[in-house]
Amino acid sequence: MVDHVLEVLKSCSLLSGLPEAALREVAPLARVRPFRANEVLYQRGEVQSALSVVGAGNVRIGSTNAEGREIMLTLFEPGAWFGDTVFSPGMPRVFGATAHTDGELVEVPGQDYRALLARYPEAYPRTLDMLSRRLWSAISIIEDNALRDMPGRVGRRLLFLAHMHAPQRGPGPVTFKLTREHIANMMGMTRQGVHGVLKTLEQRGLIRFSYGRITVPDLDALKAYLDERTG
């Protein structure tokens, strides 16, 4: 069991700055939490903090507003981490997490994680780097949303997800398990609006889609198209 936890922790980019000995130390403190599709894992506003690493399955990050409208920020795959409030103890979570498929989470209590970092300070630079890259991503999204039209935004977001899911993949198609509604929730659009945009992109051969599934056959082609239609 601990072996399994250790494997998950090792797969997490945030923790890869820590020596294996350190990961062995925390592994027994971590909790394995299996989940089923659409289960709510965390809600926006919770104060309790833990570092969560996706061990299996997919997790949607986002939140729901008072009117019941959902906003989805991103979709995480195994190896991804979230719960950035571990770095700001006492802050409420800005977003919630919902299971997108069945899977499991490995949760390291916030204080254990922080204590570990204090004991292995050589891991700090890597940790700062990871956080700063995440900030970089968030700002890119803000820029895209401000400067691009709907097709541009949707395309950029798909590219973003693709890169996140497989940073060093070679050429080849990437498929997401996303409905039109999910995409609408990511972009602040409606299901019908997304429909039109996807149809446009499909006509240009940049994406393909079937029920609940979207495929980008060629990331570079999509990127080239997007770059061309706005600096």
Q: Shortest distance, CB of residue 7 to a copy of itself, whole angstroms?
A: 26
The nearest distance, CB 73 to DNA, in angstroms, is 17
Binding partner of 88, given a copy of itself, DNA, none, CB within 5-8 angstroms per partner class: a copy of itself
Q: State how far the Cα of 162 lies from the Cα of 123, in Å rounded to an integer.
A: 27
The two three-digit tokens of residue 214, written as one number = 């979207």
Q: C-beta of 158: minimal distance to a copy of itself in Å? A: 16
55 backbone dihedrals φ, ψ, rounded to 5°: -90, -35
Binding mask 176-215 for a copy of itself (x = CB under 8 A): ----------xxx---------------------------
Q: Which of 93, 100, 108 is nearest to 77 (CA)?
A: 100
Residue 66 interacting entry, from DNA, a copy of itself, none, C-beta within 5 to 8 Å by type: a copy of itself
DSSP, collapsed to helix, strand or coil, labels residue 103 as: strand
Site mask for DNA (CB under 7 A), range 91-130, x = bound:
----------------------------------------
Give the residue, chosen from 29, 56, 71, 164, that forms a contact with a copy of itself under the rule CB under 8 A: 71
- Report what 149 binds from DNA, a copy of itself, none; CB cut-off 5-8 Å by kind: DNA
Query: Taking the CB of residue 145, how many other CB atoms lie within 10 A of it?
Result: 14
Residue 36 binds: one of a copy of itself, DNA, none (C-beta under 5 to 8 A by kind): none
Q: Going residue by residue from 176 to 215, which x/- string records binding to DNA, judged by CB under 7 A?
A: ---xxx------xxxxxx-xxxxx---------xxxx---
Nearest distance from residue 188's CB to DNA, in Å?
A: 7
The alpha carbon of residue 88 and the mean position of all alpha carbons in its chain are separated, in whole angstroms, by 20
Pick the binder of a copy of itself from 129, 204, 205, 215 (CB under 8 A): 129
Residues of this chain, 129-158, that bind DNA according to CB under 7 A: 149-151
For 15, 102, 157, 203, 220, the CA distances from 197, given in Å and listed in that order, are 38, 30, 13, 10, 19
* Min CB(214)–DNA separation in Å: 8
105 and 53 Cβ atoms separated by less than 8 Å: yes
Secondary structure E strands in the chain: 31-35, 40-42, 50-56, 59-64, 70-76, 81-82, 96-99, 103-109, 174-176, 208-210, 213-216
Q: HSE on the CB side for 3, CA within 13 Å?
A: 0
Give the nearest distance from C-beta 137 to a copy of itself in angstroms.
Answer: 9
